[in-house]
A and B are shown apart, each in its own frame.
Chain A
Amino acid sequence: MSGADQKLVEVRDLSVVFTQDGNETLAVDKISFDLAEGETLALVGESGSGKSVSALSLMQLLAYPAASHPSGSILYRGKEVIGADERTLMGIRGNEISMIFQEPMTSLNPLHTIERQVGEVLAVHRGLRAEAARARVLELLNKVGLQNAESRLGAYPHELSGGQRQRVMIAMALANEPRLLIADEPTTALDVTVQAQILKLLKSLSREMGMSMLLITHDLGIVRKMADRVCVMNKGKIVEQGETTSLFESPQHDYTQHLLNSEPKGKPLTARPDAPEVMSTDNLKVWFPIKKGVLKRTVDHVKAVDGISLKVRRGHTVGVVGESGSGKTTLGLGLLRLIESDGPIVFMGQHIEDDGWSDLRSRRADMQIVFQDPFGSLSPRLSVAQIVEEGLLVHGTDLNYDARRQRVAEALEEVGLDPATMDRYPHEFSGGQRQRIAIARAMALKPDFVVLDEPTSALDMSVQAQIVDLLRDLQQRHDLAYLFISHDLKVVRALADEVIVMRNGKVVEQGSSDQIFDDPRTDYTKALMAAAFDLETAPEGVVSS
């Protein structure tokens, strides 16, 4: 990291403006940073801060001419990239600079085999064909740690797990030994255990190949683990940059301090020991039949939930953690009788497992659910008031218009939103506000039991902390019983006082939150903790890959 002429990438005063229908939006505002050979630089910020847009401009991959650069220059090894002709750019893209994306499923073509997709990159940039290409593909797949690479050459993307797909994406990005790898939220869509493996892989690859890395993420844990230097972005500007260690130890800018302090905090509420049970189940099973043959006989079952027992009491939170596909969400839907299940479900002292849809309807007011995606769970065509009052129209038929609006206003106030905004539409709100609306919809009915299905995982870190505080506050005020489903152990620790660790539909470990977090018994739970809190990988065989 000596003189300026040694830098791999130099960005000076870069701005990006998007023009749509005559309206201009400034996405990136005069940012400057540089990147030396072999260095890992992290761009950190919340969603909408312009970090992905900045990275895409390095390769000139934005949708021009809707996007434009009113100012700035991007020098790649001393050559100007902005305004370069298509031939030059083609030489840089994929060859000198490669990119991996967040969602490995949509980045791979579902109709092509792994061998063909990786081989294509080699054919385009290197002219490698047939045997030579095959050998190189195999070498790359082994390099990125894909197990049984040889037998997987003919596999299609859907036959691989998320982590394996991301490994294939990395193999494609590395095919031409790039000097710079741009990793845009490379692990956000992955489970914590897989995330740790992928990060470890990226780190060792960059060291081995002397490759620079531009890492885009919102997760400060990843930054601390991976990056040499950090740029903190907020609203299109770089507010602070510096060496990772010094930046984490003494953040200068207010926004950086705010980010660092925004991890979910606080202790879960502990229910009174004599609190009545709200929801309980014993040996609950949700099996989906696998049907084969002409007569569609059931040959086997997918055991999504396989014998789970739990009790949720008033003012008490049971956290359910596990990797994706472990059956957490299915458990929640099964308890609410939104999908068919097998086993006793006792709600407020009454068995509801055999109730018909119309019997259940009257109980729905008392058991509610909040979903993960605050953008998908609110109908874009209804105003906030209409969304929140929907349940009241079903359950509180005696309420007139004024009384309903009153209840809506109370519910919005309770979740920290201004009741005056109730006639606006969801798209006018941010992700965190939308999640508050979704919570208000559940709370307007004054339920006893709420299933929270990953309510924070689609949100920025600082917003997550606010939502966790809000949920805890609501629980305290109304003595609510929560079933809190999450893969994010930090959030679970802040909210749940009993934890169930699930894997493949079965309980791995169940107990009080203190016991699970401080003294995990099983290897699987230990691996989960290490991956979540320290981004450490587990020994082989304990977790999936």
Chain B
Amino acid sequence: MRALVEKTPLGRINWEATWIGRVNKARTSPINQRRWRNFRANSRGYWAMWVFGVLFFVSLFAEFIANDKPLLVTFEGGIYFPVFVAYPETDFGGDFATEADYRDPFVQELIEEKGGTIIWPLIPYSYDTINLDLPVPAPAPPSAENWLGTDDQGRDVVARVIYGFRISVLFGLILTFFASIVGVAVGAVQGYFGGWTDLIGQRLIEIWSSVPSLYLIIIIAAVIEPTFWILLGILLLFQWVSLVGVVRAEFLRGRNLEYVRAARALGLRNIAIIFKHVLPNAMVATLTFLPFILNSSITALTALDFLGFGLPPGSPSLGELLAQGKNNLQAPWLGFTGFIVIAAMLSLLVFVGEAVRDAFDPRKTLQ
């Protein structure tokens, strides 16, 4: 960021030398513009990116869409935001000092008696809200109250899908991010130094990737209670391997390029050469792989959840929804919902991945 504040002799900021200038240069550079055109030319991938982006963005605000707390309560001239703040029941004239349960008809009556109003989210259930007024034993079929029915504990499926989608994608993104960092680093070291480093690294990776990871995770999960972050760590142990191959290949090629040799002759340190000269080339291969790694990360979590070794019980999870579908074949809405949501999510990501691959394909230019 140093370049941002450095000035030319005339005292004007030299925009072309700053990060802003470089980003602009990258944006307007012919090769990136060609990539963007290629990306848009794959209209399926382009639209998949938008659909997925909107869905993900909306799901980030799941608390405002599906919640068992009202968005807003007016009561005796005051305005309350139960989504953000936990108000005790006594604030509304109740008996207990614990947080008000707004789904309780008694609390609702208290508020409405004094002329207050309650504004509910679109879906008045959170992922762990149990609908106690089901007309039939859980799992209840879809109705006007529970659009996709409830699961076998009486929880609203729509709410669980929204929260489950969010947690799946977030988990996938975080896992992909860390797996890429580790994978690129290992691939870079192996490819750049070559020789024995590369040989030993490759053999270790071969051994490591032949470990049956799913069983190992199941064993670990049986010993320690998995949380979001522990699961992330365990899956990371195996996920990083997928990028090593491509990055290593790019570095093996890149280290013999003449400008890399020129940098050596200038006396640059290896670390500087790696970051400045070779890594940018390897990033193209990495970016092309990212959507597919994201996909496999999400699938890994779903598989664990399905088997019951994933996120802690009660967490909203798509894998757990599938498991419920399998256990309750008399309630087909569970299995169908889980299948459709997961299939749609993974398909969208594959479409985006295909478009990214097209965008970086140098042979696509003549079309």
Residues of B within 8 A of A (CB): 2-3, 6-9, 14, 16-17, 21, 25, 29, 34, 37, 257-259, 261-269, 272, 276-277, 280, 365-366
Contact = CB atoms under 8 A, between A and B. Distances in A.
Contact of B265 (A368, A381, A402, A425): A368
B366 to A, nearest CB: 5
A338 B261 contact: yes
B265 A379 contact: no
Contacts of A390: 263, 266, 268, 276
A394 B259 contact: no
Contacts of B264: 338
Contact of A21 (B6, B21, B37, B261): B37
Contact of B259 (A361, A368, A378): A378
A441 interface: yes
Contact of B9 (A338, A378, A402, A423): A402
Contacts of A376: 257-259
Given A21-B37, A401-B6, A402-B9, A364 B265 contact: yes
B258 A373 contact: yes
Contacts of A360: 267
A423 B16 contact: yes
A364 B267 contact: yes
A66 B364 CA distance: 13
Contacts of B7: 402
Interface pairs A-B: 10 shortest CB-CB: A364-B267, A376-B258, A401-B6, A377-B258, A391-B266, A423-B16, A361-B267, A379-B259, A369-B265, A371-B258
Is chain A's binding surface mostly helix, strand, loop or mixed?
A: loop
A377 B2 CA distance: 27
Is chain B's binding surface mostly helix, strand, loop or mixed?
A: helix
Contacts of A361: 267, 269
A46 B17 CA distance: 35
A336 interface: yes
A405 B9 CA distance: 10
Contacts of A425: 25, 29
Contacts of B267: 360-362, 364-365, 391, 394-395
B265 A338 contact: yes
A423 B17 contact: yes
Contacts of B6: 400-402
Given A376-B259, A379-B259, A364 B366 contact: no
Contacts of B34: 21
A438 B262 contact: yes
Contacts of A369: 262, 265
Given A391-B267, A423-B16, 19 more contacts: A20-B366, A21-B37, A21-B365, A338-B264, A338-B265, A364-B266, A368-B265, A369-B265, A371-B262, A372-B258, A376-B259, A377-B259, A377-B261, A379-B259, A385-B17, A390-B266, A390-B268, A394-B267, A394-B272
A63 interface: yes
A425 B29 CA distance: 10
A34 B282 CA distance: 49
B277 to A, nearest CB: 5
A401 B3 contact: yes
A63 B367 CA distance: 12
Interface in A370-405: 371-373, 376-379, 381-383, 385, 390-391, 394-395, 400-402, 405
8 contacts: A364-B267, A376-B259, A378-B259, A381-B280, A402-B7, A402-B8, A423-B14, A423-B21
Interface string A405-423: 1000000000000000001
Given A63-B366, A373-B258, A401-B3, A379 B277 contact: yes
Interface in A458-492: none
A445 interface: yes
Interface string A295-308: 00000000000000
Interface string A428-445: 000000000010010001
A121 B276 CA distance: 48
- A20, A372, A378, A401 interface centre (most CB from chain B within 10 Å): A401
A368 B366 CA distance: 41
Nearest to B367: A66
A54 to B, nearest CB: 21
